[in-house]
Amino acid sequence: MISQSKATIIIPARYESSRFPGKPLAMINGLTMIERVWRIANNCKHADAVYIATDSEIIAEHVKLFGAKVIMTDESCRTGTDRVAQATEDFTDENAIVVSLQGDAVLTPPWIIDEVIHAMKQHDTVCLATPAVKLKGQALQDFLAHKKISPSSGTTVVFDKERNALYFSKQPIPFDYNANSPEAYLYRHIGLYAYRVNTLRQLQALEQSPLEKQEKLEQLRALENGIPIRIVCVDYQGRSHGSVDTPQDVKVIEKIIAAEGELVA
């Protein structure tokens, strides 16, 4: 059944960061990181509204300069999901769709966000959705090679025939029994989530789960509590995947943008 619910994108932005203080205001090819992500969100065809959720007056004043709408949240929010949940406290439609788009996701194509929102709007029984991209051939080999250098980087996912997630892991899953088989593939999870408001509130009321603590993956809390997650298979259409975690990542992102061009005007 097609859902008539509105979709709101919320971008959590935190000024204080141990690895990269002031990260949302870092300049990338002449634009701040937070403005880049906001522009991506505003180019989504299926989004009805876009907000930036922050506890920082510095960020709030900056984003107002380029026309963004702001929801102020508490400093006590531990994660981006906590901040998004707090930003939706006044939402009255519990079936409404809320997309959590991380404030450092400067290379996330808007069509990927649209595909996730579309999946939610097409099926009102889907309460939580997230994208994944298929890796095979050289892309798979590159991913596995990077895993040897940085084991905690990149999350993989396996799902059933209805594309409901079975498990997420920092380990490459499924295991390739026939090592380096040309038929081998895996799906890399993209850290973008669309929730029904009532599902987001349900998740935030739950304690951290054992697998969540072990893998350091919040989405496992949903699976361990019987909340299904719909996987939306997406195509980057030749664009590179990436986000900004440290100051050193800025130069990497700038090189990618220089080679591939801007995602949005």
Q: Is residue 185 part of a domain?
A: no
Residue partners of 118: CB distance under 8 A and separation at least 6: 46
Tokens (6 digits) for 32: 């701040």
Cβ(84)–Cβ(12) under 8 Å? yes
Domain CATH number, residue 68: 3.90.550.10
Q: Is residue 154 part of a domain?
A: no
Taking the C-alpha atoms of residue 168 and residue 181, their distance in angstroms, rounded to an integer, is 22
Taking the C-alpha atoms of residue 170 and residue 216, their distance in angstroms, rounded to an integer, is 9
Tokens (6 digits) for 248: 């050193």
pLDDT digits (tens, 9 = 90+) for 42-90: 999 999 999 999 999 999 999 999 999 999 998 888 888 889 999 999 9
Listed range (2-11, 45-54, 174-183, 185-194) with the worst mean pLDDT = 174-183
Query: Mean of the per-residue pLDDT values for the chain?
Result: 93
Q: Is residue 172 part of a domain?
A: no
DSSP E strand boundaries for the chain? 7-13, 27-28, 31-32, 49-54, 69-72, 97-100, 128-136, 156-159, 165-169, 185-189, 193-196, 230-234
pLDDT digits (tens, 9 = 90+) for 79-100: 888 899 999 999 989 999 999 9
Domain count, the chain: 1
Q: What is the pLDDT of residue 167?
A: 98
Q: Is residue 138 part of a domain?
A: no
Q: Is residue 223 part of a domain?
A: yes
Q: Is residue 137 part of a domain?
A: no
Count Cβ atoms below 10 Å from residue 10 Cβ, excluding itself: 24
Q: Is residue 150 part of a domain?
A: no
Largest CA distance in the chain: 55
> Domain range spanning residue 33?
7-130+191-259
Q: Is residue 265 part of a domain?
A: no
